[in-house]
Amino acid sequence: MVLLVGNWKMAPEKAKDALSLAKKVQVLARTHKKNIKMVICVPGVHLSALSKVVKAPLSLGGQGISPSNEIAQTGRESAGMIASYGASYCIVGHSESRARGESDTDVAHATQLLLQKKVTPIVCIGEKERDAHGWYLSSVKSQVEAVIGALPKQLLKKLVFAYEPVWAIGKDALREATAVECREMIIFIRKIIADASDEKVAKAVSILYGGSVDENNGASFIDQGEADGLLPGRLSLDPKRF
Ligand code: PGA
């Protein structure tokens, strides 16, 4: 099963445009092969309206939650809120959220709260830049360990990780990763999970690739890159390309 998750980021602006986009994706999801599971992760403000039109085989997801259930957090949403509006997935630790101050500890707490509400966390990890000596590997390792270290072993297989190198994301990206770079990182991430639990768990965890995914490079991350799916951002706002 390939997991195809669209990250709508902070778009569309108008409720009616969000609704019409979701309806188009819904139609496409129905015509797709059975081995592709499609999810759209939308701004929290659109969840309620979209939950009325998004039905299986398409699923709805959020883009982030607060790492605590404390009520005094003006402007934030809880895991329970997005779950009650029909989100069955939620992105956590996206690099754009980390850049606004989301820490590894916040990501670990948010992941725990999502699992408690039976929402599948899509945990984004990825280095800001690559250096010739491979030091960037340690930043990815600590991002993964922060999340898996906070969870009991039996919950690890419920996680989805998305390897998203920061340098490959968005309109200012240097380039997308190569399939070889993707494969190396996916093996590396599985090894970290295996060391913390066992090989069976490491194989069960889904690991996606994200960062300038498009209709030309997408298949290579799955076929040669060994990703279990993709997390396109900008592309997911165009239903046909998605
Ligand atoms: P992009 O974004 O596909 O537009 O590079 C990916 C993401 O932010 O998840």
CA-nearest residue for atom 1, ligand 1, is: 233
pLDDT digits (tens, 9 = 90+) for 109-163: 999 999 999 999 999 999 999 999 999 999 999 999 999 999 999 999 999 999 9
Mean pLDDT of 97-115: 98
The residue whose C-alpha atom lies closest to atom 7 belonging to ligand 1 is 233
Asked if residue 33 has pLDDT above 80, the reply is: no
Say whether 164 is catalytic: yes
- Residue 171: CB atoms within 10 Å: 7
**In the block, which residue shows the tokens 């609704």?**
19
Confidence band of 31 (pLDDT split at 50, 70, 90)? confident
CA 181 to chain centre: 19
Which numbered atom of ligand 1 lies nearest the CA of 170? Answer: 5
Residue 96 annotated as catalytic: no
**Is any atom of ligand 1 closer than 6 Å to the C-beta of 11?**
no
CB 35 within 8 A of CB 4: no
For a ligand 1 pocket test, name from 3, 4, 5, 7 the mutation site with the most ligand atoms within 8 angstroms of its C-beta.
7
Question: Residue 208's closest CA among 37, 22, 26, 33?
Answer: 37
Q: Smallest Cα–Cα separation from 67: which of 16, 39, 104? A: 104
Does the C-beta of 218 come closer than 6 Å to ligand 1?
A: no
The ligand 1 atom at the shortest distance from the C-alpha of residue 169 is 5
What was the pLDDT predicted at 40? 98
Q: Which atom of ligand 1 is nearest to the CA of 231?
A: 9
From the list 96, 127, 164, 176, the catalytic residue is 164
Q: Tell me: pLDDT of 190 over 90.
A: yes
Q: What is the pLDDT of residues 38-74, one digit of tens each?
A: 999 999 999 999 999 999 999 999 999 999 999 999 9
- State the Cα–Cα distance between residues 89 and 62, nearest whole angstrom: 6
DSSP string, 34-67: TTEEEEEE--HHHHHHHTTT--TTEEEEES---S
Does residue 164 line the site of ligand 1, with CB under 6 A? yes
Query: What is the SS3 assignment for 97?
Result: helix
Q: Which of 94, 96, 102, 109 is catalytic?
A: 94
Q: Which amino acid is at 46?
A: H
Q: What pTM, to 2 d.p., does this model score?
A: 0.98
Q: Is the CB of 211 under 6 A from ligand 1?
A: yes
